[in-house]
Structure 1
Amino acid sequence: MILVPPCTKSLGTIKLLSLTAKKVVDTAPDRWQGYARSARLFHVLNKHEAAIKMIDLALERIKPDDAQRRQELNALKSQATDALKAADERKRAHIAKTAYHIGKLPVEIFAEIFGFVVAADHAQILKLSHVCKHWRGMAIKTPSLWQTLVVSKNRPTRKVRLWMERAQTHISDLSFRHNISEMDWPSILLELSSLSWCGLRSLAVSGSLFSRLYNLLQQLSKTKAISRLEHLDVTGCPGFERFLPDFEDSQLHTLKIANFTPSMGGLWSRVHRLKTMTIEGGWIEIFPALTANQSLENLVLSSLILIPMQSGGDDRAELSNLQCLKLFSITSVSVITRVVVRTQFASSALVQHQPFVRLCWKFAHADPLRALRELRVGSCTTTASSLNIIIAGAPLLETLQISGMHGVVNDVLDFICGARPNDQHQDLCTFLKHVDLSRCGDLLTRNAYSLVKTRLRTDQPVPVDGGQLECKAEIESLRLDDCPLMEAEMLPWFRGKVKVFSCVYMTKKEGKQRR
């Protein structure tokens, strides 16, 4: 019997051995020797399927009492089988890395997938177009992927020209950054002159450039594009009153204006469909804005001076769809509480207001708190009793943030935990899961401990005599950053009971300053 050495590499030797094995098989087809030689040769050449076939033929011809040779061939068959499996795995891994399955998709499905990616983040179109030649060709030939144009200081004219070409002039979302050089304005507007203005739905622009853009629309007799806008973001626009006639029967759903002036008040006789209103900086008479847009869902007022109503009529607005109310650094909060009645909002951020107590009392005796799920109060001058009124009227509260305040947080936690029973003797905040008490310098460890412990499933009372008790939700996240009175010995207990827990006494920067 000829054994083929595993290290055989000579082509001549392999050829000679293969001819010898074939001659043996042809000479004695009913003997096992030729098939065994062929099997060993195929195994060395990594032709494992052929080797297994030859081994089976050899086993059929070996005498039943020749156990040694049968054992040798079975061992060789096992090696060939393992090698075949390993080769298949390597082949599948190679195919997985190199096969281009997505290239088999129809063009329409390919474009639809790209559309979902770009809808989530318009900047992704650049990454998609740089993956490979096929993807780039698909991206460039799909105009709908290029309908969002953001113009910045980095070669703005070239970018506008490129986007206009790839979108085939159908831009739906046009945004200008504030850092664009005024020297580039003429060339940018020249490239935009061929834009399909009737399809424009969103515009974000600074005031001076907005005036130049409006002049272009007048030259093209396309000022009706202003009334078709659904989203408008304007920053500091002097002489805004001359644009007001073109807002007649406006389709605006989202409006953001920075540096509001009383001359812009004429908007509210023309804009009636707003879902989101953001006013940052300036002077505003808020009552006409709210009564004209009573379908508002989000209202954000920041750094404003609110002008009260001059007339003595009914100055109330029913904002039944209001979901989010944010007030930052405004004067005369009582104007808001007098105007907004019977609201239903699910998220409220009330930050940095001196007359916060009046706001608390106004909302505490109204229905809006029945839907309140998130309450965030930070750096306010208020009392614990005012916050307790809000908390008692918000049975669905899930998130509570009291940050940057002193003399309030301990009383509020006592009230929530039942240390100070409320008038109705009811369980408070049964859905409360997320709590942030950062930067409360007087927060005591015992109050934070009670908040977590009274809501643990194992520590809640068991119903007696078949009665039903409402089970309180466990605290899932708790932030106690920059609370110096927290005892370090209790931190391991908090980490073991709360899924997400944070207690950072000071930042690295503050630590370096104290050293």
Structure 2
Amino acid sequence: MSWKASFQQGISNFKRNQYSEALAFFDEAISLGCDSFTVYDSRAAVHEKLGNNKAALLDAKKVVDTAPDRWQGYARSARLFHALTKNEAALKMADLALERIKPDDAQRRQGLHALKSQATDALKAADDRRRARIAKTAYHIGKLPVEIFAEIFGLVVAADHVQILNLSHVCKHWRGIAIETPSLWQTLVVSKKYPTRKARFWVQRARTQISDLSFHHNISEMDWPSILLELTPLHWHGLRSLAASGSLFSRLYDMLHKLSKTKAISHLEHLDVTGCPNFERFLPDFEDSHLDTLKVANFTPSMGGLWSRVHRLKTMSIEAGCIEIVPALTANPSLENLMLCDIVPIPMQSGGDDRVELSNLRCLKFFNIASISMITRVVIAPNLQVLHLFSIGHSSDVLLEFAHPDPLRALRELRIGSCTTTASSLKIIIAGAPLLETLQISGIHGVVNDVLDFISGTHPNDHHQDMCTFLKHVDLTNCGDLLTRNAYSLVKTRLHTDQPATVDGSQPECRAEIESLRLDGCPLIEAEMLPWFRGKVKVFSCVYMTKKEGKQRR
């Protein structure tokens, strides 16, 4: 049989879908010496029908080699490359086929354009999958320079020093950067859990450059010697903040004395000491002190010598003890924050008529003090913004000392609780504080309703002016006589949609809406009004009694 006969027989079988028999005749035709592109193209078609795409592609390449000017080999190669997901090659072959197809052969050209569109879409989908995979697996942040990495870590640690431990456990790369950056380990808080080991690791990783050192009060005294031994190599003159109990502070001072480094005490900017006996022996080392913040618990008269050496304080917190407050304030005219709790002010021995003006004082907090008159009558704070008064005794009106002709015009936050005061004093304070944003009246009887009437404008004041136009946060906890109508008026009169126009039709000065309102422990608040309050106030709380109290009532 000649190759032509074999070829014709193969074509006949192909048309009858007898692909295996057709393939055998095409193989026979080629073996008989046929080198026509038609035979290879026909055999490629059979392989394509049988799913033998790679074999079909080899025959299609043979068609291109034997008849490079004809479109058939390129078109079939384009289809096969697309089937094999080699879409870039498919696009190239489709373009070559379109160059060889006659312009008027619209059907074939349309088919190739459709194939190109499918290949392009497939390429785009593959690229999207690749990008998604890279986004999930690639480590882009690892390409950052180590210096930038350390700066980012520094911002995180500055907000919360404990985060350095979390950062160092993310991966090997992060751990390496964290451990090799001493500035990230400059805050050491020694606690009850593994105190000695923690101190050792921290000192090593900080390269002895600890700037903030704090000791928890629950550390066993048996661990003190080993902890201090680990801290011996520190660059003590770089220490800026220290917090410790009085006894531990004494042991630490003894160690510094042996190292001839007690000068480090004068370099401190923040000091927090609790109950320190024999404090007078430390006083010489506070000469020319750089202290910015001082927090002392259990203040003793021996500590009074500080005021001849400490003159730069901006924050002072004294908790428990006896203190002659006027020398402390006179010595620190730049004071910005003052907090006194559980103290007994010592009366001045002389100069009782002298007053101390603290122009920078912004925050004043008194807690559980028998009397504040000895303090308030000598302190002038024209720029006071925050005032807290809680559990003040032995006074007919705790606010009387503040309700003087010079109003607290800069006041933004007033909190008063468990004190004796009058509605008239509160009104004077409120009327003289146009910038007030936060008001708390807690545990005081016979005051709150009149004050709310005054603020809401239910009973207009003498000057017919709006009160507390910036008031946003109100806390009336444990005011047992608070009436629902007064709390309702406070919120209602400040809703922007309910503020009426004036007589001439213009809108009054817009008062801020109440954003938070606490009415816990106010039993006269009507339960039917609670949904209304919750709908009008962003943060609202009204708990009539605690679970413990509820059980006792049952």
TM-score (norm: length of structure 1): 0.91
Worse-matched range after superposition: 33-42 or 338-347? 33-42
Q: CA deviation at 1:361?
A: 2.3
1:181 matched to which residue of 2? 220
Select the residue among 79, 83, 94 that pairs with 2:122: 83
Q: Number of residue pairs matched?
A: 511
Instruction: Render the CA deviation track for 1:397-421: whole Å, top value 9, x for unaligned.
Output: 1111223333322221111011122
Task: Map residues 111-122 of structure 1 onto 2, 5 A cutoff.
Answer: 111-122=150-161
**Gap change, CA 1:328 and 1:14, over 3 Å in 2:** same
**1:293 aligned partner:** 332
- Whether the 8 Å contact between 2:399 and 2:421 is mirrored in structure 1 is no
Aligned-partner residue type, residue 430 of structure 2: I
What letter matches 2:163 in structure 1?
A: Q
- Partner AA of 1:254 in structure 2: T
Indicate the larger mover: 29-38 or 203-212: 29-38
Contact 1:4 1:41 in 2 (8 A): no
Contact persistence 1:360–1:389 (CA under 8 A): no
- Tell me which moved more, 422-431 or 481-490: 481-490
Q: Which residue pairs with 2:483 in the alignment?
A: 444
Alignment of 1:337-348 (within 5 A): 337-348=376-387
1:205 aligns with 2:244: yes
Whether the 8 Å contact between 1:344 and 1:367 is mirrored in structure 2 is no
**C-alpha contact 2:191 2:219 (8 A) present in aligned 1:** yes
Q: Deviations over 1:307-352 (max 9, x none)?
A: 2112254342111111111111011211121121244211122112
Aligned equivalent of 2:211: 172
Gaps of 5+ in 2: 1-41
The equivalent of 1:363 in structure 2 is 402
Please give the alpha-carbon distance, in whole angstroms, between the structure 2 residues aligned to 1:178 and 1:216. Answer: 19
Matched residue of 2:409: which SS? Answer: helix
Which of the residues 97, 104, 114 maps onto 2:143? Answer: 104
More moved, 240-249 vs 22-31: 22-31
**Aligned partners of 1:370 and 1:395 also within 8 Å:** yes
Q: SS at the partner of 2:408?
A: helix
Aligned residue for 2:273, secondary structure, equals strand
Distance in 1 (alpha carbons) for counterparts of 2:402 and 2:191: 43
- SS of 1:300's equivalent in the other structure is strand
SS of the residue 1:345 aligns to: coil
Do residues 412 (structure 1) and 469 (structure 2) align?
A: no
In structure 1, the residue matched to 2:468 is 429
- What is the SS of the residue equivalent to 1:419? coil
SS in 1 for 2:60: helix
| Among 332, 345, 349, the residue aligned to 1:310 | 349
Q: List alignment gaps of at least 5 residues for structure 1.
A: none
Query: Residue 333 of structure 1 aligns to which amino acid in structure 2?
Result: I
The structure-2 alpha-carbon separation of the partners of 1:349 and 1:45, relative to structure 1 and needing over 3 Å to count, comes to farther
Spell out the pairing of 1:28-427 with structure 2 (5 A cutoff): 28-62=67-101, 69-355=108-394, 358-365=397-404, 367=406, 369-427=408-466
Shift of the 67–178 alpha-carbon distance from structure 1 to 2, 3 Å rule, reads same
8 Å contact from structure 1 (residues 241, 263) kept in 2: yes
Matching residue's letter, 1:472: R
Distance 2:321 2:381 in 1: 27
Shift of 1:202: 0.9
Give the residue type in structure 2 aligned to 1:351.
F
How far apart, CA to CA, are the structure 2 residues paired with 1:504 and 1:473?
25
**Partners of 1:160 and 1:191 within 8 A in 2:** yes
Distance (Å, rounded) in 2 between the aligned partners of 1:458 and 1:234: 53
User: Are the equivalent residues in 2 in contact too, given 1:3–1:40 (CA < 8 A)?
Assistant: no
For the 8 Å contact 1:227–1:251, the answer to whether it is kept is: yes
2:526 is the counterpart of 1:470: no
Task: Provide TM-score, normalisation by structure 2.
Answer: 0.85
